[in-house]
Structure 1
Amino acid sequence: MSRQPAKSAASPDLAEEHRAELNQAKVRLWVVLASAVYVILRWVAVDGPIPLPADYAFIILPLPAEVAVRWLLICAGFGAFALLLLLHIQHYRGHFRWRRIGAMIVEYSTYTYILIVGERITMPFFALIVATALSNGMRFGSRYLMIAAIFSQASLAVMLAASPFWRANVSVVLAFSIIAIALPAYAFALLRQTAEARDTAVAAMQAKSRFLAQASHDLRQPIHSIGYYLDILRNTHSKAERHVLLNRIDRALGSVSRLFKSLLDIAHLDSGTIEVRSEDIALQPLLAELVQQNSQIAQWNDVELRSVPTSLNVHADPTLLTTMVQNLLSNAIKYSHGSSVLIGVRRKGPSLAIEVYDQGIGIAEDDLPHIYEEFYRAHVAGDRDAEGVGLGLAIVNRLAQLSGFVLDLRSRRGVGTVAGLYDIPIVTHRVEKKRRVRSDAPQPLSGFRVILIEDDHDVRDATDELLKRWGCHVQSHPGMPTGIETADLIIADFDLGNQLLGTEVIRSIRQDLGQAIPAILLTGHADAKVKKLVDGDDIQIFSKPVQPAKLRSMLSALRIANRDEP
């Protein structure tokens, strides 16, 4: 390894190693000083100007002058070595293994010689043997800790071989040996845990950086295109062209909405508040609706989306199952531009698998072990750019584990991918198909009375206008309303400013009108936080942004439910 003068530039890791080695060298000098003070005190106890009284001789055993002089010479020699080593470290930076191991050899040789010559009087020096092992390990890592621990045992073996005194007190040496093994072993475990925690933290920081970069890209792309579309729209007078532009703006907004939904899904999983509420459900309506919802996106991506009908019923949480299959479909469509995607069901004994086949770009073998990691994207230079921040499969995997299912994915680069949910329990009895309202079907909302509570002026105006275009009669308020009329539904934002919450407004309106009016709460917070405040209040929670089709479908379903009530 080439030498680097101290004044040259160094990487952060090299600078940290240099500081650690300098600190170790300084500790070595302090050890020399402490040893010299110890020897002098022992010498003073017998021959010095302040002899130790006989009654206190047991505290510090006396040290003859000739032995004290010999030890001071050893301290002086070791001190000279420590000083030269410090100067070398200051002048030459770098990872010099021979310098560190050589320093340990000199240290252990010195302490071993002192323990052999001084016998019982030098027992405190054993602490230096253990301290040397620990300090090298803590400063330079577990490898040096193991080397120092081996040197410690070698020192004790040399003591036994060279000293009759230590052979006569083999139990003391054995105790020293156990201590010299136990303490470094404990330190090794701590170092390992610290290293794992550090690696986890570094991985989390790297994932966060990847996420911020990708999320920034995925937000900029649609916003960039929306800006252009709006400028073109202002100067377009053809009804057909305006319709095309509006569809493209809607598509761009859908990309932003899907990004936020992924972030909300992972936030809910991290909060640990998701509950699995399984029930018997007919699989065909669920899959058919997902295919219908993704048909437009498939068309935009030039993907042929097909499904194989099934008559099987399963026991699962319909909301979680829908989220899982939706993410698998989104991934397949996203990476299958110009090809086809097929969703089908395969029965396997008492359970079944929902599988999504695509003929897209596939996933490289090196990427397969990482595809369930959050914020990981299997991207190869030259691939067509696709939206997403690498959360889809991570969400599916965690939801599958919560539900007791198994997520499996097989893929070949350039051939395609098969992603499936397995071990979904089948139910053999007939399941009543629940009536559902299609999100794309026009519903009779004329005369439907809505109380709208929203503090943001632009959002309130946009929502008010949208509801009126659907035929609703809207009472719009920025905060706690006064003089309200009866209504069929309350739509309220969660945070209304001035320490006012939408939940408080909903309760106040219900109390004033004497009716348990259905209510929808719109929020940008994680559902767990909001659910604690609405528990038992019969309020439906929607996470922003809410697509107009979803909101209209919800209003239509509520109106139909109200009409069906006696």
Structure 2
Amino acid sequence: MTASGTETIGQLSAESLEITAEYRQARSRLWNVSIGVLYLYLSGILTDISEDISEALLIYVTCFSTFVVLIYVHTRLRPGIVPARRLIAMLGDFCSLTFVMLVGETLGLPLYVFIVWVTLGNGMRFGQRYLVIASVMAQLSLITLFLLSDYWRQQPYLLVTFSMVALVLPAYARVLLGQTAQARDEALVAMQAKSRFLAHASHDLRQPIHSIGYYLSLLRTSRSAADREKLIVRIERALGSVSRLFKSLLDIARLDSGTIDVNREAVALHPLLSDLVQQNEQVAQWHDVKMRYVRTSVSVSADPTLLSTMVQNLLSNAIKYARGSEVVLGVRRKGGVVAIEVHDAGIGIDAAHIPHIFDEFYRAHVEGDRDSEGVGLGLAIVNRLAQLSGFTLSIRSRRGKGTTAGIYEIPVNFEKRKPEQASMHDTAKPLAGYRVILIEDNPDVLDATCALLEHWGCAVQPHPTIPAHVEPADLIIADYDLGDRTLGTSAILAIREKLGSILPAILMTGHADAVVSKKGVDEGMQILAKPVQPAMLRSILSTFRAASRNRSL
């Protein structure tokens, strides 16, 4: 569904609600008249007053009841929004109530409830404009009572009280109506955004899944090793698109849950940035993008996980829109703060899109441009993480000239830095001999993960559930749900107890972090949301190994 279609549906829904509200107001007026007539009879206003006034009241009751029935019939025969009908009905309500209170005097006091009822009823059903009109009519009704009746002139405090009630309650209702209208508008905007997301996501999911099906069919019949390798690369590329889409959704879900904490520490930028460049090299090749990284020796104070996510999203965004050109990642230092900038020579962004590029599910797409993957969450995620971390995000772009996206106001860390952790480029086989205990109940995932770790040189102990016996190891990788009501956290704690050592651990899960964090996760466990890119997993394992080596020095 398109955004315009959603907006049209929203407008139609609002209009149908108003039509229904007008019918309900007319029906409510029938009940009010019935209750009012019953009160007039029981209170004696119709029977215990002079014959002339009693006759006038009977004429009034007959005429007003007919008027109310006609309004009701008119709403049934001609449904829709008719402002004149609303105003005439409101005027009839207030005139009739004023007349009865004028005649009834003390016995007419309870009918003031109907004045408040009519005022709020019209406002709540038809909106703030009618609430204001009804409030003015209520005040005119009280002024009329004061001018035409000696009884009411002798009750100034009572009239003032009625006047204040008729002002304060509608004023408060007006505030509530404003908040309701704002919430409705926000809900409509959110619905439009979700509709755009569904449209983009369905497209971005269908495309790679569609191609994977064809590639797999070709792979079964391909006999050439070179052809099989090409097909495998293309399948990997399609799966990468799906993986990045789900990662964006998981990131925005974590932000919406409000469970992300900022844990600042000294972060050496070179290992972090060089690993990100390495992780994106394959994607850059697929998009025919040349990546260049300007090495830096600066250390900053930041949450390394959040900073890595921010830069990764900027790099991914730049690569998508810089097809056939160059992307440069670099650092600028000015005094006590640092800026991390990503420059690309891609298609750029039209000025009209710049104010909206940080909105969720928004994509700065121009008709005729090449389709690009993604659902418009990358910059929204970076912006929210930057605000959470106390940084600023800025985008400069010109259509056809490229884009510069940067994270600014990152404080420099002036403390003596620890030795830099080894990056992915430091050794040819950074994981050779690294001992890993792998626990995964899904046999296919267990087999694939084990084969990947062994390909990197790890010594793997694979288990489908909590093992009865384990060999000494350097790291534990566990799935969160292991079946039979067994959690990965329990498996990690059990293995640590068997080995008598607090081994670092990676907990892989398809749940949101907010769910997992309540289930016994400690500081020695790092949570990774599935699907996990192989490059990211390898980078994290290398970081764990480098950290353990630094501790042993």
TM-score, structure 2 normalization: 0.89
Cα offset for 1:44? 8.2
Report SS of the residue matched to 2:44: helix
Q: Is 1:185 matched up with 2:139?
A: no
Q: Please, which of 175, 178, 181 is the counterpart of residue 195 of structure 1? A: 181
How has the CA–CA distance of structure 1 residues 273 and 121 changed in structure 2, closer, same or farther, with 3 Å as cutoff? closer
- Out of 521-530 and 424-433, give the one that drifted further: 424-433
Compared with structure 1, are the counterparts of its residues 563 and 401 closer, same or farther at alpha carbon in structure 2 (3 Å cutoff)? Answer: closer
Inter-CA distance 71–441: structure 2 relative to 1 (3 Å threshold): farther
Q: Tell me whether 1:138 sits opposite 2:124 in the alignment.
A: yes
Q: Which runs of 5+ in 2 are unaligned?
A: 1-10
Matched, 1:452 2:438: yes
Secondary structure of the 1:93 match is: coil
Give the conservation status (yes or no) of the 8 Å contact 1:450–1:474.
yes
Are the aligned partners of 1:303 and 1:336 in contact in 2 as well (CA < 8 Å)?
yes
Asked whether 1:249 is paired with 2:235, we answer yes
One-letter code of the match for 2:452? L
Aligned to 2:192: 206
Matched residue SS, 1:479: coil
Instruction: State the Cα distance separating 1:432 from its structure 2 match.
Output: 4.2
Question: Any idea what the Cα deviations from partners look like across 1:183-239, whole Å, max 9, x if unmatched?
Answer: 111111222222222233333333333323322322222222222222223333333
Shift of residue 438 of structure 1?
0.3
Q: Deviations over 1:480-520 (max 9, x none)?
A: 32354444443321111111112222333333344444433
Residue 337 of structure 1 aligns with which residue? 323
For residue 412 of structure 2, give the secondary structure of its aligned residue in structure 1.
strand
Letter in 2 for 1:40: Y
Gap change, CA 1:107 and 1:414, over 3 Å in 2: farther
Could you tell me how far apart the structure 1 residues matched to 2:197 and 2:287 are? 24
- Aligned counterpart in structure 2 of residue 391 of structure 1, from 361, 377, 381: 377
Moved more, 186-195 or 286-295: 286-295
The question of whether the paired residues in 1 share the 8 Å contact of 2:212 and 2:238 is answered with yes
Cα RMSD for the two superposed structures: 2.9
The alignment covers a number of residue pairs equal to 542
1:367 aligns with 2:368: no
The change in CA–CA distance for 1:41 and 1:455 in structure 2 (over 3 A counts) is same
SS at match of 1:345: strand
Give the CA deviation at 1:348. Answer: 4.1
Judge which range, 91-100 or 438-447, deviates more.
Answer: 438-447
**Deviation of the 1:431 alpha carbon:** 3.4
Distance 1:484 1:432 in 2: 33
Query: Hey, what does 1:6 align to over in structure 2?
Result: none
**Matches of 2:289 and 2:523, distance apart in 1:** 44
Give the corresponding residue for 1:38. Answer: 39
The question of whether the paired residues in 2 share the 8 Å contact of 1:36 and 1:72 is answered with: no
Q: Which is higher, the Rg of structure 1 or of structure 2?
A: 1
- Give how far 1:439 is off: 6.9
CA-CA distance at 1:24 after TM superposition: 1.3
Q: Could you tell me which residue of structure 2 aligns to residue 53 of structure 1?
A: none
Shift of 1:417: 2.8
1:403 CA drift (Å)? 1.1
For 1:18, the equivalent position in structure 2 comes to 19
Residue identity matched to 1:475: Q
Find the residue that maps to 1:220 and give its secondary structure: helix
Q: Which has the higher contact order (CA 8 A, sep 6+)?
A: 2
Partner of 2:248: 262
CA distance in 2, matches of 1:535, 1:41: 71
Amino acid at match of 1:438: M
How far apart are residue 308 of structure 1 and its match?
4.2
> In structure 2, the residue corresponding to 1:367 is in which secondary structure?
helix
1:533 is paired with a residue of what secondary structure? coil
The residue number in structure 1 matching 2:365 is 379
1:182 positional shift: 0.9
Q: What is the one-letter code of the residue matched to 2:36? A: S
Give the match for residue 4 of structure 2.
Answer: none
Matches of residues 527-542 of structure 1 in structure 2 within 5 Å? 527-536=513-522, 538-542=524-528
Which of 286, 306, 318 is the equivalent residue of 1:320? 306
| Secondary structure at the counterpart of residue 390 of structure 1 | coil
Question: What is the SS of the residue equivalent to 2:517?
Answer: helix
Q: Rate the CA distance shift 1:536–1:306 in 2: closer, same or farther, 3 A.
A: closer
| TM-score when normalising by structure 1 | 0.87
Task: Encode CA deviations 1:27-77: one digit per residue, 9 max, x unaligned.
Answer: 2222222222222223389x6xxxxxxxxxxxxxx5334322321211110
Q: 1:454 to 1:161 in 2, by over 3 A?
A: same
| Counterpart pick for 1:127 among 110, 113, 123 | 113
Determine if contact 2:421/2:546 at 8 Å carries over to the other structure: no
Change beyond 3 A, Cα 1:186–1:518: closer
* Aligned position for 1:5: none
- In structure 1, give the amino acid aligned to 2:153: R
- Structure 2 CA distance for partners of 1:374 and 1:504, relative to 1, 3 Å: same
1:108 deviation in Å? Answer: 1.6
State the match for 1:162 in structure 2: 148
Matched, 1:112 2:113: no
- 1:156, CA displacement in angstroms? 2.2
Match of 1:3 in 2: none
The 5-angstrom pairing of residues 150-549 of structure 1 reads: 150-428=136-414, 431-438=417-424, 442-443=428-429, 448-536=434-522, 538-549=524-535
Would you say the 8 A contact 1:315–1:427 is kept in 2?
yes
Cα distance between partner residues in 2 of 1:496 and 1:275: 27
Alignment match, 2:6: none
User: Is the 1:22–1:89 Cα contact (8 Å) retained in structure 2?
Assistant: yes
Percent of aligned positions with the same letter in both sequences? 55
| Contact in 1 for aligned 2:289/2:319 (Cα 8 Å) | yes
1:12 and 1:558 map into 2 onto residues whose CA distance is: 55
Distance verdict in 2 for CA 1:11–1:308, change over 3 Å = closer
Measured in 1, the distance between the counterparts of 2:379 and 2:475 equals 37
Q: Give the CA deviation at 1:134.
A: 0.8
Moved more, 214-223 or 465-474: 465-474
Which residue of structure 1 lines up, in the alignment, with residue 30 of structure 2? 29
Name the amino acid aligned to 1:330: S
Determine if contact 1:443/1:556 at 8 Å carries over to the other structure.
no
Letter of the 1:324 partner, please give it: M
> C-alpha displacement at 1:474, in angstroms?
3.7
Measure how far apart 1:81 and its partner are.
Answer: 0.7
